Amino acid sequence: MALRVVSVLKRRLGGPGQKLLRSGNLLSATQHRWEKMPSSVGFPVTSRRSFSKTALIVDVDHNLGIATMKMNNPPVNSLSLELLTNFVIDLEKLENEKRCRGLIITSASPKIFSAGLDITEMYGKSSAHYAEFWKAVQELWLKLYMSNMVVIAAINGSSPAGGCLISLAGDYRIMADNPKYTIGLNETLLGIVAPFWFKDTLVNTIGNRASEHALQLGLLFSPTDALRVGIVDQVVPEDKVQDTALNVMSRWLSIPDHARQLTKTMMRKPTVDRLLKQREADIKNFVSFISRDSIQKSLHMYMKHLKERKE
C-alpha cells in the first residue's frame, strides 16, 4: 500500500503541478529526485531519519519530503509542558529542513489522538508555572498555525480541547471513522473558557454561528458530525487514515511552495497577529483566570469525575 501511495505521489508531481513548478523554476531537490524516478517502480526509501524524544516520535522521509510526528505520551497524549516544549523544538527543526515540505501529525497510541492540555499542569501549581505553561501552549499554536509546511492531522482517536486545537492548526484533517471517537473544543464542560485564539481558529474553520454553538455547549462531535460541521475534512476507515494522509499530502505538495505558503500567510496572519499583539496580556489573563478558587475547584472536580468514571 505504501508503494502504491508513493506511485500516486510521483504521478501527481509529474502532472500539472510539476509543470507549474517548472515554469516557476521552483523545483526543490526532493522533486528533482522524484522526476528522475521511472514510474514503474516504487520509490525506494534511501534517506530516512528518525528522532525520538520523550513524548514524540518523529520520522523524516527525505525522499518524499514528508515528516510524520507521532504524539507518544501515554496514557492519553495529554499536552504536558514537556510535550509542548519538545513539540515546538521538533517543529523548528523540521521547519529548518529545506527538503521537508509536509508534516503529518498523528498519535502513537490509537484511540486517543490527544486528551488536550494536561489538566494537572493547570491546578495546584504556582503562578510562574501557569505562565510558563501558557507560553508553551501559545508557542506551539503560533508555530503550527503559521508553519511553512503542509500540516495534515491524521486523527486516529479522540481529540478534545487542546487536541482539537492542534488539528485545527493544520491545513487538513482526516479522522478515523469510529463513533467512539470525538473531537471539539469542550472547555465549557470543564468550567473554563476557550481563549480567543482557540475560538478564532475554530471560527476560521467552521464559521461564526457553528463555532458559537459548539463553544457554548462544549460540543464533542462524532466523526460523522465533525465532518458535517466542517471540523474535519475527511472521515475514513480506521486503517486508512495514514494512507489517506499521504495521498492528500501529495495533492497539497503538488502546489508550488511559495504560492501556497503566501496564501496561507495571507489567510492566517491577521488571526496570529491578534495574539502576538497581546501575548503578555493573554498570559496574565490565563494566570489570573486559572488561579481563581472557583476555576481550581472546577478543574479538580473534572479530574475527579474522569477518575470516577472508571470505577
Ligand X SMILES: CC/C=C\C/C=C\C/C=C\C=C\CC(=O)SCCNC(=O)CCNC(=O)[C@H](O)C(C)(C)COP(=O)(O)OP(=O)(O)OC[C@H]1O[C@@H](n2cnc3c(N)ncnc32)[C@H](O)[C@@H]1OP(=O)(O)O
Give CA torsion, residues 111, 116, 119, 121, to 10 deg.
Answer: 120
Residues 62-81, mask of contacts with ligand X (x by CB under 6 A) = -------------xx-x---
SS (H, E, C) 204-257: HHHCHHHHHHHHHHCCCECHHHHHHHCCCCEEECHHHHHHHHHHHHHHHHCCCH
How far apart CA 242 and CA 248 sit, in angstroms, is 10
Active site residue 97: no
The correct pick among 72, 178, 278, 285 for binding ligand X (CB under 6 A) is 285
> In the set 160, 170, 184, 223, which binds ligand X (CB under 6 A)?
160
Looking at the Cβ atoms of 118 and 257, the one nearer to ligand X is 118
Of the pair 81, 112, the CB lying nearest ligand X is at: 112
Cβ 218 vs Cβ 192: under 8 Å: no
Give 9 or 219: the residue with its C-beta nearer to ligand X. Answer: 219
Catalytic residue among 83, 184, 187, 253: 187
Residue least distant from ligand X (Cβ)? 116
Concerning whether 139 is annotated as a catalytic residue, the answer is: no
* Touching ligand X, residues 78-97 (CB under 6 A): 78
The grid coordinates of residue 95 equal 521547519
Rule CB under 6 A: is residue 119 a binding residue for ligand X? yes
Stretch that binds ligand X, among 1-9, 48-56, 101-109, 153-161 (CB under 6 A): 153-161
CA–CA separation, 160 and 114 (whole Å): 7
Q: Which is nearer to ligand X, 29 or 306 (CB)?
A: 306
Name the strand (E) or helix (H) holding 296.
helix 293-310
Question: Helix (H) and strand (E) counts for the chain?
Answer: 13, 10
3-state DSSP helix/strand/coil % of the chain, to nearest 5:
55, 15, 30
First to last CA, the chain: 42
* Active-site residue, selected from the candidate residues 13, 117, 140, 165: 117
CB of 186 to ligand X, least distance (A): 5
Annotation marks residue 86 as catalytic = no
Beta carbon nearer to ligand X, 204 or 291: 291
User: Could you confirm whether 117 is annotated as catalytic?
Assistant: yes
Considering the complex, state which of residue 118 and residue 200 has its C-beta at the smaller distance from ligand X.
Answer: 118
Q: Which of 60, 161, 226, 283 binds ligand X (CB under 6 A)?
A: 161
What distance lies between CA 81 and its chain's CA centroid? 17
Which residue among 31, 63, 158, 242 contacts ligand X (CB under 6 A)?
Answer: 158
Please report, to the nearest 10 degrees, the dihedral formed by the alpha carbons of residues 179, 183, 185, 190 taken in order.
60
DSSP 44-96: P---EEEEEETEEEEEEETTTTEEEEEEE-TTTT-B-HHHHHHHHHHHHHHHH
Within 192-221, which residues bind ligand X (CB under 6 A)? 192-193, 195
Of 58, 60, 115, 174, the one binding ligand X (CB under 6 A) is 115
Residues interacting with ligand X, by CB under 6 A?
75-76, 78, 112, 115-120, 158, 160-162, 186-187, 190, 192-193, 195, 285-286, 289-290, 303, 306-307, 310
Catalytic residue numbers, as ranges: 117, 162, 186-187
